[in-house]
A and B are shown apart, each in its own frame.
Chain A
């Protein structure tokens, strides 16, 4: 049984690792999780992304969630930011599309052009 102090230490260590990973991550993936996104299915999109990254053993991707991006009719929205800080926004993302984004864009570096949304 671990003490609370042990757990704190573990968490701190994990946090540092996470911060390092975040900095060195080749891709940052952000799922819009506002009311509109959630109502459109963002939770399952998030689950699919986490599952696919885990299954593929992708090491250089960091996942996070954000609020409403202001394009509620296009939800669920997923943004993928590369090391060059160039962000691609995908709209009306289904869990299947999300898996494709991880496989094609995040792992193979090919943008899934048929689902790209231009935020203007």
Chain B
């Protein structure tokens, strides 16, 4: 995967498959602290301690479970190559929090990539999940709630798919307005 937005999409799909009804994606991009932090929190079925250990092992998990596989270990490897790490906190019945840290200026760090594509496609493909996306940089912050799409859809009295490109455009513009000036940023 060439952009973190694809890894994020992948990890969020675990949350969707874990039956989450609410998913929060929070990106904190701080050039001042040379740090990029991605948090994905869901209220899905969660995992016990043993399972948390297993999902990070690519060779144990791929064949034993369908809900989780290579994705997490792959992202952890990328994070570690960038002077960061990936940690999982989970509680059965409560949900899961996946936190991934990167050194922002690491040469190994893939670009964040197209978050608008990942987020809007996730919303359109799982309409019964409430998504919340927050993106912070040194220049400002932006939040997007899947309610936005439903609200606009009602206003325009249109089909939900017709909201795809306005929503992507809106997110792209907002992200541009808070874009970090750091070298190698998305």
Contact = CB atoms under 8 A, between A and B. Distances in A.
A38 B6 contact: yes
Interface in A1-19: 2, 7-8, 10-11, 13-15, 18
Interface string B156-176: 000111101100000000000
Contact of A11 (B13, B125, B150, B165): B150
A68 B69 contact: yes
A46 B121 CA distance: 7
A33 to B, nearest CB: 5
A54 B6 contact: no
In the complex, which of the residues A11, A35, A44 has the most CB atoms of chain B within 10 Å of its own CB atom? A35
B60 interface: no
B127 A18 contact: yes
A115 interface: no
A35 B71 contact: yes
Contact of A43 (B6, B126, B164): B6
Given A10-B151, A54-B159, A47 B9 contact: no
A77 interface: no
A2 B151 contact: yes
In the complex, which of the residues A15, A18, A59 has the most CB atoms of chain B within 10 Å of its own CB atom? A18
Contacts of B118: 43
Contacts of B164: 47, 50-51, 54
A98 interface: no
A63 B125 contact: yes
A39 B6 contact: yes
A14 B122 CA distance: 17
A8 B146 CA distance: 11
A67 interface: yes
Interface in A22-68: 31, 33-35, 38-39, 43-44, 46-47, 50-51, 53-54, 57, 59, 63-65, 67-68
Interface of B: 1, 6, 9-10, 13, 16-17, 66-67, 69-71, 74, 117-118, 121-122, 124-128, 130, 147, 150-151, 153-154, 159-162, 164-165
29 contacts: A10-B147, A10-B151, A10-B154, A11-B151, A15-B127, A15-B150, A18-B160, A33-B125, A34-B10, A35-B74, A38-B9, A38-B10, A39-B1, A43-B9, A44-B117, A46-B124, A46-B125, A50-B121, A50-B164, A53-B161, A54-B159, A57-B159, A59-B159, A63-B125, A65-B121, A65-B122, A65-B125, A65-B126, A68-B66
